[in-house]
Amino acid sequence: MSVSTIHDIGYRHYDGKRLGRAYVTRSMFVHNLRATYGLGRPARAKVMPFVLAGIMMLPAVGDIAVVAIAKQPKALFAYTRYQFMLQLIISIFVATQAPVLASREIRFHVVPLYFSRPTGHLDFVLAKLGAFTTALFALTAVPITTLYIGGLVTQVPHSGKQLAHFLGGLAGCLLLSLVLAAIGMVVAAFTPRRGFGVAAVIAVLVVSSALVSILQGITEHTGHWTLSGWLALFTPFNLVDTVSYRLLGGPMSAPSAPPGTGGGLAALALCAAIVLGAVAVLYARFRKAGLS
C-alpha cells in the first residue's frame, strides 16, 4: 500500500485529447519559423528579414527581364550559382536571424520553461534547426524558382536540361541552408549577449570566406592547384559550391574546387559532419541552459 495518495479536491478534469510529442515539436517548428521572418513580432523585427529577402529577389527579376526583353537565353543565371553570387546577403540574413532563434531564450533564462513541459531536448533542438533551415531554404529557393518559371515563360531552349539544373539548384539550396543553419545557430547559442551574436556569426562567415579566397589566390599563383581546390572546404559557401559543381552538375562559381567526384563526396561528408556536430553541440548547450 502506497503512502502517498492524490486527493480529488474538486478541480475540473481535462477530458480533451492529449496532444503528444509530435504536436509539441510541430508547434515549436512553426513558432520558430514565423519568428525567423518576424511574423508575430513587432514591425521592427520584420524589417530586416523582408528587406534581405527582397534584395535576394532583385537579381532574379532583373535577369528575367533581360532574358525576356533582349532575347538572350544565355543571360539566364545558373541555378547553382545564384546563392554563391549573393552569399553576402545570405550571410547577413543568417547573422541577423540566427540569434533570434538561438540566443533569446538563453539570454532571458526561459529555456527551463520549455523543458518543464513534455518537450524532449532533442525535439527542441531539431525543431529550431529545422525551422531555421526551412527559413533559409525559402530565402534561397524562391529566387531560383522565380528564375526557372521566368525561363519557362520566356521559353528558354533545352527545357529538360533546365529542369535537371533547377532540381540540382534546389538540392544545393537545401544543403546550403542546412550547413548555414547549423553553423549560425551554434555560434549564436554561445554568444547570448545582444548584438554580439550577430557580430560573431558574421565574423565566422565573412572571415572564413575572405581567408579562403586570399589563400586560394596565393596557392593558385604559386601553382599548387590541388591544395587551392581543397581549401574550398573551409568556408560554407565554397563547400556547398563544391558539392553542386562535382555532384549536381552545376558550373563552378568559386575560383577552384577539390578534384574529381571524390572531392565532391568529401565535401558532402563534411556538410553532414557539420550538421550532425551542430545537433550534438546544440543539444548539450540547451540542456545545460535548461538546468541553470
Partner 1 sequence: MNPTIAMITFRSMLGRRRALLLFVLPAVLLILSLVLRLTNTNDLDVDTTVLQRFALGAVLPLLALIAGTGVIGPEIDDGQIMYILTKPIPRQVVILTKLAVAIVLVALFAAVPTLLAGVILGAPAGLTPAFTIGVLVGGVAYASVFVALGVMSRNAVTIGLLYALVWESLFGNFAPGAKKASILQWSLSVTHSLTDASTIKTAVTLPTAVTLLVIVTLAATALATFRLRSLTVASAE
Tell me how far CA of residue 36 lies from CA of 24, 33, 95, 191, in angstroms.
18, 5, 11, 18
Binders of partner 1 among residues 210 to 249 (CB under 8 A) are 210-211, 214-215, 217-219, 221-222
Q: Angle at which helices 260-291 and 121-153 pack, to 10 degrees? A: 140
* The binder of partner 1 chosen from 206, 265, 268, 281 (CB under 8 A): 206
Tell how far CA 5 is from the center of its chain: 50
* The binder of partner 1 chosen from 198, 239, 271, 289 (CB under 8 A): 198
Helix (H) or strand (E) holding 218: helix 196-221
Angstrom distance (rounded) from CA 71 to CA 75: 9
Shortest distance, position 234 Cβ to partner 1, whole Å: 11
HSE, CB side, 13 Å, CA atoms: give it for residue 25: 13
Which of residues 53 and 171 has its CB atom nearest to partner 1 in the complex? 53
Could you say whether residue 61 binds partner 1 (CB under 8 A)?
Answer: no
Could you say whether residue 72 binds partner 1 (CB under 8 A)?
Answer: no
* The binder of partner 1 chosen from 19, 110, 207, 276 (CB under 8 A): 207
The contact mask relative to partner 1 for 97-136 (x = CB under 8 A, - = no) is -------x---x----------------------------
Compute how many residues bind partner 1; rule: CB under 8 A.
32
The contact mask relative to partner 1 for 16-55 (x = CB under 8 A, - = no) is ----------------------------x---x-------
Could you say whether residue 195 binds partner 1 (CB under 8 A)?
Answer: yes
Tell me how far CA of residue 223 lies from CA of 227, 235, 260, in angstroms.
9, 21, 18
In contact, 103 and 128? CB cutoff 8 Å: no
Q: Angle at which helices 159-189 and 121-153 pack, to 10 degrees? A: 150
Buried b (16+ CB within 10 A) or exposed e, 120-131: ebebbbbbbbbb
Shortest distance, position 255 Cβ to partner 1, whole Å: 14
**Residues contributing to the site for partner 1 (CB under 8 A):** 44, 48, 88-89, 91-92, 95-96, 104, 108, 190-191, 193-196, 198-200, 202-203, 206-207, 210-211, 214-215, 217-219, 221-222
